[in-house]
Structure 1
Amino acid sequence: MLFLVISNPRPDRPSDMAATRQTFWPWIAKYQNVGVCRHVYARVGRGIIAVFDVPDNDTLHRILNEWADIVPAQFDTYPLIDSDAALKALAAQRS
């Protein structure tokens, strides 16, 4: 299951959270190395956008709770479909 996750961190002073935020990158790298996190980008200003490929909602829930322990944030999550699956669905609609 693919999900786009957009983090909106609490409005704490960035300098107060700098040391904690630095632990985010090694943490997310572990998920990148095993293919769970397909993409991750820092947003201009603050926040992160990531694409996760997880087997179920429970796994995503666990990851987001770990993330919130590092950088408290609100998460907007969007389920995605792979582009190949989207093309198949579109072709099926035309049949």
Structure 2
Amino acid sequence: MSSTALVHPPQSMITTSGYRLVSAGPQLWRVIDRAGTIIGHLAAYRLGDAVRYRARRYHAATRILRDLGEFWSPEDALDCLRYSR
């Protein structure tokens, strides 16, 4: 990811369907459910002139983040995290 071209999620993504996005670094957000549990991360990166979003699910038993996929919209990446439980 280029540090000169930061990507921000749309304002509507900060809180949606009971999930919150909290900044965890440049172009990286923690996805937190209604109970306050971190369910994963949403990362943005540039691919040419476009922006891609990577969904990563937190797996508590192994204490690692598992890549779920890459998406053209932050909404699709968040949906993947929500429905992959």
**Fold-level similarity (TM above 0.5):** no
Higher relative contact order (CA 8 A, sep 6+): 1
Normalized per residue, which structure has more strand? 2
Bigger-Rg structure (1/2): 1
Normalized per residue, which structure has more helix? 1
